[in-house]
Structure 1
């Protein structure tokens, strides 16, 4: 009986340690700009798709690249869809306007 209690306690402790290690890896990946599965978005092609209809493509690519590098995401389509990427939508200029196209 005592052995089974000790086994259960050690099993629970090891599961807790594994959970903490996994959370630490996820946090460090997020700080380094990686997505939830360790993949980094291709900002170049994502911004080309986002800015393809822009009247000022160079400005659009520059702003999109900055936002993509910070957020590791770009909303789909050529305009709007900010609800798909909250970080991208939250970046603003000094004037309070959207920084990201």
Structure 2
């Protein structure tokens, strides 16, 4: 009799644990942010965009200089933030004259 109660209690606890894990996985998927969008606009906006792009650079002056050149060439398109993928701005990713940060 005690074994049946223990087995039933263990089964209920396992079901509770599985449902809790499932709910945590759903929450994690809902709260996951999407990839950053490109900051496109006019070439006159390159300063703030490149400041954001180069905010974590270990050589900020050089980063700002090359980013501004890339931004002007690419009509104001700069990947958002310091870690965004260059592929969000095709011109920025394909720029061959120098390496865009």
Question: Which residue of structure 2 lines up, in the alignment, with residue 59 of structure 1?
Answer: 62
Residue 75 of structure 1: aligned partner? 79
Give the greater-gyration-radius structure (CA).
2
1:30-87 deviations in whole A, cap 9, x for unaligned?
Answer: xxxxx7xxx5141000000000000000000000000000002000120341121000
Structure 1 unaligned spans of 5+ = 1-34
Partner of 1:40: 42
TM-score (norm 2): 0.53
Of structures 1 and 2, the one scoring higher in RCO (CA 8 A, sep 6+) is 2
In 2: Cα distance, 1:63 partner to 1:69 partner: 10
Aligned residues: 60
Moved over 2 A (4+): none
CA RMSD in angstroms comes to 1.8
Gaps of 5+ in 2: 1-39
